[in-house]
């Protein structure tokens, strides 16, 4: 029997409720969903790769077909190593489209057998991003309801 494995890659610095909404949608469609945390970011992350992965593991416990892993290097190399068939990405607004289009077509050029699948998170999360959550938290604003409670706590201890 064919089982479809998708990779959901990202920085997840930190995971937001928008990411979780997409994970829930992906876990319903794919047999297995691997949330792949990019280890080395261009900019210094607020949370280390291990911390980002650990928070993701905690908040995705309820899905038995969701796994959290770390990766580095080219995404398509990781996708091949994991014998996956698809890359899952979320699109919030038109502004995401250009970057996502560029990445999807470059990844297709590098590995024609892997398909990028786009899903839209719930519209209540359409303005949400890890960057804006970090900024609000660092400036002392409330991020309740935008990230899981565990992440609220971790952000508080990180910025104070």
Q: Would you please indicate which residues are annotated as catalytic (active-site) residues?
A: 19, 43, 92, 130
In whole angstroms, the minimum distance from the beta carbon of 36 to ligand PNS comes to: 8
CA separation for the pair 58, 26 (Å, rounded): 18
Considering only residues 85 to 114 of the shown chain, the ones binding ligand PNS according to CB under 6 A are 103, 106-107
CA separation for the pair 45, 52 (Å, rounded): 10
Considering only residues 8 to 37 of the shown chain, the ones binding ligand PNS according to CB under 6 A are 9-11
Nearer to ligand PNS, 10 or 26 (CB): 10
Asked if 122 is part of the footprint of ligand PNS (rule: CB under 6 A), the reply reads no
Host H or E run for residue 38: strand 32-38
**Beta strand pairing call for 86-90 and 66-71:** unpaired
Residue 147: DSSP 8-state: B
Closest CA to 90 of 118, 62, 122, 112: 118
Considering only residues 36 to 65 of the shown chain, the ones binding ligand PNS according to CB under 6 A are 38
Nearer to ligand PNS, 1 or 15 (CB): 15
Nearer to ligand PNS, 83 or 142 (CB): 83
* Residues binding ligand PNS (CB under 6 A): 9-11, 38, 74-75, 103, 106-107
């Amino acid at each position: 029997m064919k089982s479809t494995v998708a990779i959901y890659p990202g920085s997840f610095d930190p995971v937001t409720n928008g990411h979780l909404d997409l994970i829930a949608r992906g876990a319903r469609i794919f047999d297995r969903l691997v949330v792949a945390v990019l280890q080395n970011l261009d900019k210094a992350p607020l949370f280390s790769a291990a911390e980002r992965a650990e928070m993701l593991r905690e908040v995705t416990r309820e899905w038995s077909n969701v796994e959290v892993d770390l990766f580095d290097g080219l995404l398509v190399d990781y996708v091949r190593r994991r014998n996956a068939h698809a890359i899952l990405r979320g699109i919030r607004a038109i502004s995401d489209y250009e970057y996502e289009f560029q990445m999807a077509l470059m990844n297709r050029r590098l590995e024609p057998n892997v398909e990028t699948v786009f899903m839209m998170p719930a519209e209540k999360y359409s303005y949400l991003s890890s960057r804006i959550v970090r900024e609000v938290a660092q400036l002392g604003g409330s991020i309740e309801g935008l990230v899981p409670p565990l992440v609220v706590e971790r952000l508080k201890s990180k910025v104070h």
